[in-house]
């Protein structure tokens, strides 16, 4: 039993369903005689119901990738640096062996495609700082990167394939600045397009493919620029995107 008179706290306890049956009955008797309070309490009950209608669907949504329980920060940092060190070591070893080859063009291409893959591994897991300039400032991004590369670069639009532009950043390449554009699909899957200037303005190559530690890379040279599209998706899917990129850049 609750003590009379009925308090504001009692009324809220009634709304929240935390009163024993007997006390709830007391409140109901009180409300039957106090129509203003009754209207107020009915409205509070409706608020709770509306909150559940509006926000309960979130409980059943699939979690975005970034909310999978992260490893402790230090562990992720260690893993990331380990990944970078491993990539650099791989690059070094590959570079050492490839040094012996005479086919210099191929060596160069392999090296920069690897750099593109490293850049993908380093930046694509970033949540807050994935890009330096976001897609909202696309025009500025493209002007800035074109200016720094000394060549006209474009950010292809891949919306038809489900990927939207996240933004881009400037990176150091083996022989000057390079650009990286990042794309993301609805599930948070990210692709990066790495663009560098090619020493030979007239050289063109077919698509080449390489795969290192789960990262697939299609790379090609076209119109004085080298492109490498990296992603952790399967080869046919990545090829579809690479083809779309190529077509957009060569309308």
Partner 1 sequence: MAELRALIEEQIPRLRRYARALTGDRSLADDLVQDTLERALTRFHLWRHGSDLRAWLFTIMHNIFVNQVRSRLRHQHEALESDAAVEAMRVSEPDWLELRDLDSALAQLPHEQRTVLLLVGLEQFTYEEAARVLQIPIGTVMSRLSRGRERLRAVLAGDTSVSPLKVVK
Q: Could you tell me which residues are beta bridge partners of residue 192? A: 182, 230
| Candidate segments 6-14, 24-32, 78-86, 195-203, binder of partner 1 by CB under 8 A | 6-14
Q: Phi and psi of 174, rounded to 5°?
A: -75, -25
Site membership for partner 1, residue 140 (CB under 8 A): no
Q: How far is CA 179 from the centre of its chain?
A: 18
User: Taking the complex as a whole, how short is the minimal distance between the CB of residue 110 and partner 1, in angstroms?
Assistant: 37
Listed ranges 9-17, 81-89, 113-121, 154-162: which one lies at the site for partner 1 (CB under 8 A): 9-17
**Among 12, 97, 235, 240, contact with partner 1 (rule: CB under 8 A):** 12
Q: Given candidates 1, 33, 35, 55, which one binds partner 1 under the rule CB under 8 A?
A: 55
Angstrom distance (rounded) from CA 201 to CA 160:
30
Note whether 112 and 173 are within 8 A (CB): yes
Q: Does 139 help bind partner 1 (rule: CB under 8 A)?
A: no
Point out which span in 61-69, 112-120, 149-157, 202-210 binds partner 1 (CB under 8 A). Answer: 61-69
Nearest to 224 by CA among 205, 245, 248, 243: 205
- The region of 68-76, 100-108, 118-126, 144-152 touching partner 1 under the rule CB under 8 A is 68-76
If one asks whether residue 65 binds partner 1 (CB under 8 A), the answer comes out as: no
Pairing relation of β-strands 215-222 and 190-197? unpaired
Structure tokens at 180: 């990286």
What is the token pair recorded at 208? 């080449």
We find the least distance from the C-beta atom of residue 155 to partner 1, in angstroms, to be: 18
Residue 37 burial (10 A CB sphere; 0-12, 13-18, 19+): middle
- Closer residue to partner 1 (CB): 1 or 73: 73
State in angstroms the smallest separation of the CB of 183 from partner 1. 16
Q: Contacting partner 1 (CB under 8 A), which of 25, 50, 78, 88?
A: 50
Residue pair 155/181 in contact (Cβ under 8 Å)? The answer is: yes
> Smaller CB distance to partner 1: residue 78 or 136?
136
Pairing of strands 225-231, 208-212: unpaired
The torsion of the CA quartet 239, 244, 245, 248, rounded to 10 degrees, works out to 160
Rounded CA separation 244/57 (Å): 36
Is residue 22 a contact point for partner 1 (CB under 8 A)?
no
Question: Which residues, numbered 70-129, are part of the site for partner 1 (CB under 8 A)?
Answer: 70-74, 127
The CB-of-67 to partner 1 minimum distance in angstroms stands at: 6
Cβ-contact 156, 248 below 8 angstroms: yes
Question: Cβ closer to partner 1: 41 or 118?
Answer: 41
Query: Is 9 among the residues that bind partner 1 (CB under 8 A)?
Result: yes
Q: Site residues (CB under 8 A) for partner 1?
A: 8-9, 12, 15-16, 18, 40, 43-44, 47-48, 50-61, 63-64, 66-74, 127, 136
């Amino acid at each position: 039993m609750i003590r009379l008179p009925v308090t504001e706290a009692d009324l809220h306890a009634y709304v929240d369903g935390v009163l024993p049956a007997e006390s709830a009955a007391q409140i109901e008797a009180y409300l039957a005689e106090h129509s203003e309070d009754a209207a107020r309490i009915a409205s509070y009950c409706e608020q709770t119901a509306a909150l559940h209608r509006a926000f309960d669907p979130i409980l059943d949504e699939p979690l975005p990738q970034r909310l999978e329980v992260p490893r402790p920060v230090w562990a992720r940092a260690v893993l990331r640096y380990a990944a970078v060190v491993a990539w650099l070591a791989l690059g070094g070893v590959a570079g050492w062996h490839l040094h012996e080859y005479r086919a210099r063009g191929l060596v160069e291409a392999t090296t920069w495609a690897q750099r593109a893959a490293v850049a993908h591994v380093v930046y694509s897991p970033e949540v807050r700082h994935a890009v330096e300039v976001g897609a909202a400032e696309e025009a500025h991004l493209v002007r800035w990167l074109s200016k720094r590369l000394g060549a006209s670069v474009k950010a292809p639009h891949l919306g038809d394939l489900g990927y939207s532009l996240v933004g881009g950043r400037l990176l150091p390449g083996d022989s000057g600045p390079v650009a990286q554009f990042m794309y993301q699909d609805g599930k948070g899957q990210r692709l990066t397009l790495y663009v560098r200037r090619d020493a030979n303005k007239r050289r063109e190559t077919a698509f080449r493919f390489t795969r290192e530690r789960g990262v697939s890379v299609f790379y090609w040279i076209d119109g004085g620029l080298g492109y490498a599209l990296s992603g952790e998706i399967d080869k046919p899917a990545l090829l579809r995107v690479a083809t779309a990129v190529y077509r957009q850049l060569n309308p």
